[in-house]
Amino acid sequence: MRLEEIPDSSGLRDKVAIVTGGGAAEQGIGNGRAAAILLAREGARVLVVDQHIELAQATVEMVTGFSGQAAAWEADVTVEADCRQMVSKAVELWGRLDVLDNNVGIGSRGSVVDESPDRWQQVMETNVTSMYLTSKYAIPAMQASGDGGSIVNVASIAALRPRGLTAYSTSKGAVIALTRAMAVDHGAAGIRVNCVAPGPVYTPMVYGRGMSHEARERRKQAAVLNTEGSGWDVGNAVCFLASDRAAYITGQVLVVDGGTTLRGPPRDTS
């Protein structure tokens, strides 16, 4: 092998990416904001999409602070027209689409007995249907660009190890199934589809709901590494899967959890 044949970059420079759920409260670093910043740092042009335009704009300001390229766009990704317009905007701004980071999601607690039908439907629409709708319009745009593309869906380790979050766990399991199905459907077009499954990461969505010091410590100790992750950890995983460094990876679930899923319940030593 000649040295010049060895890849030396992410291949993201001048690519166009959409990051949904790309805002975050104040200066906090959520999964979407981290992904948007990291993709822009690699040279991608990023459309930061959020239901709250001011949060998306705050992310854009962080990107432009280091001379990255980004624009903010307001959309509800459970609405088909919004998803279509979101993709059209990215193509209008930069002429192509290469990367989609599906980052939007909400949580829920309780069993099927506890969960109301309305809340169940809301979780499924937000966590699964949104990814179907964004991908429905992103994939043709990627095909039109002529160089394939990469879709990264954000799931959760709750899909792999359910713990009393039944609607949420079910929705994230569906995200993994959707990821694999799309990888098969669109691989021949050069479109890779992968999934990130975060564990206990400390993001604005988590601490915005309020979390006691004791609860936070329990989350840390659940991981083999005895620590918690951050939005940067998830963003780095998204950036890797979107890049040429993952050019031969598709239909896979990258678990980012500090080893939490490796650990079972405490051993009974009595």
Residue 246 covered by a domain: yes
Residue 270 covered by a domain: no
Residue 86 covered by a domain: yes
Residue 118 covered by a domain: yes
Residue 190 covered by a domain: yes
Residue 147 covered by a domain: yes
Q: Is 168 a catalytic residue?
A: yes
Give dist(CA 128, CA 176) in Å, integer: 10
User: What is the mean pLDDT of the segment spanning 261-269?
Assistant: 64
Residue 210 covered by a domain: no
- The CATH number assigned to the domain holding 49 equals 3.40.50.720
Residue 1 pLDDT exceeds 70: no
Residue numbers of the domain that contains 179: 11-202+230-255
Query: Looking up tokens 């890797």, which residue turns up?
Result: 240
Give the active site residue among 168, 202, 207, 248: 168
Query: Looking up tokens 């010091």, which residue turns up?
Result: 213
Q: Which of 126, 141, 129, 136 lies closest to 90 in space, CA to CA?
A: 141
- pLDDT of amino acid 206: 77
pLDDT digits (tens, 9 = 90+) for 175-206: 999 999 999 999 999 999 999 999 999 877 77
Give dist(CA 270, CA 263) in Å, integer: 19
Residue 214 covered by a domain: no
Domain count, the chain: 1
